Amino acid sequence: MNRTVLWVVPIVVVAAGVAGYLLWQQTREAAPKPEPQRVEAPPAAPAEPAEPQVRHPIEQARPQAQEQPADAAPLPPLAESDQLVQDALTSLIGADSVRTFLNVDGFVRRVVVTVDNLPRKKVALRQWPVQPTAERFLTAGKDDEVSLDPSNARRYAPFVQLVESVDTGKAVALYVRFYPLFQRAYADLGYPDHYFNDRLVEVIDHLLATPTVTGPVKLARPWVLYEYADPALESRSAGQKILIRMGPDNAARLKAKLREIRKQITGITLKE
């Protein structure tokens, strides 16, 4: 009740009559009813950006990879990591192989850029972490019957042999050790909210899906460079085209190594 009601109630009690009751009733009806108190809801807190879902955390690779020494030094910044990475690569494959096959300046960035580009139509060749093959690209036939020369696969044999000779566990151990550098390079590439190991597994799966092409691989030359005459092959990614160009034997050997690496960094064995 408001103050008017409280003043009228004693009159009702004293008069105890109809007039007094009517007066009280009239006053009660005339008194303004208090408006219900409005309780405003607190403003909604701004939604926090969702954390990127990591499908293949690098921590799951640690049990399969060779254990790192307990006294391993902290990693330098990415821009200052070339010498440390080069030393690690030298310990893995030897100084001669490093000089012959790899571009070690900015190696981590080169790997990240190349991995990200392989499922695309084009790759940035100037960013490749490996040296180009020394021999010339070989073709067979002439005029409108040009095909990929099977002996062209020999150009890639030394590199394939090197890849096969690398101890997968030791290679993955180095990858795990240097993973913060790879992640930093991937963020700098324009993916601050993505996880490089997820991208690596995705690209490995993409390369493993490359079809095995046997028999003559026909080529076309509409401009300066050769292309696959089969539109289905020409429409494939840069990475899959590279495997096809290497020949079925080299491609099968590299796929076997990719399966080993994938198992090491995910703990999952793929069915062939």
In a domain, 62, yes or no: no
- Six token digits for residue 25: 């009733």
Q: How far apart are CA 146 and CA 219, in angstroms?
A: 6
Q: How far apart are CA 252 and CA 84, in angstroms?
A: 32
Closest by CA to 118, choosing from 249, 254, 15, 253, is 254
Q: How far apart are CA 220 and CA 227, in angstroms?
A: 5
State residue 73's pLDDT score: 79
In a domain, 28, yes or no: no
In a domain, 85, yes or no: yes
Give the residue numbers spanning the domain of 232: 78-266
Q: Is 148 helix (H, G, I), strand (E, B) or coil?
A: strand
Q: CA torsion, points 248, 254, 258, 260, in degrees to nearest 10?
A: 110
State residue 116's pLDDT score: 97
- pTM more than 0.75: yes
HSE (side-chain half, CA atoms, 13 Å) at 10: 4
Q: How far is CA 37 from CA 5, 15, 91, in A?
A: 20, 35, 76
238-250 burial code (b ≥16 CB/10 A, e <16): bbbbbbbbbbbeb
State residue 170's pLDDT score: 94
In a domain, 15, yes or no: no
Q: CA torsion, points 201, 203, 205, 211, in degrees to nearest 10?
A: -170
Query: What is the CB neighbour count within 10 angstroms for residue 110?
Result: 20
In a domain, 207, yes or no: yes
Question: Do residues 246 and 254 lie in contact, with contact meaning Cβ atoms separated by under 8 Å?
Answer: yes
Main-chain phi, psi angles of 231, to 5 degrees: -60, -30
Per-residue pLDDT of the chain (272 residues; tens, 9 = 90+): 444 333 333 333 333 343 333 333 443 444 444 454 444 444 554 444 445 589 999 988 865 555 555 557 799 999 999 999 999 999 999 999 999 999 999 999 999 999 999 999 998 889 999 998 877 888 998 877 899 999 889 999 999 999 999 999 999 999 999 999 999 999 999 999 999 999 999 999 999 999 999 889 999 988 788 899 999 999 999 999 999 999 999 999 999 999 999 999 998 877 66
**Which residues, in sequence order, are bridge partners of residue 147?**
140, 218
Q: CA torsion, points 90, 205, 128, 238, in degrees to nearest 10?
A: 150
In a domain, 117, yes or no: yes
In a domain, 44, yes or no: no
Q: How far apart are CA 203 and CA 112, in angstroms?
A: 11
Q: β-pairing, 227-228 with 219-220?
A: antiparallel
Overall number of domains in the chain: 1
C-alpha angle 138-141-144 in degrees, rounded to nearest 5: 115
In a domain, 98, yes or no: yes
State residue 22's pLDDT score: 34
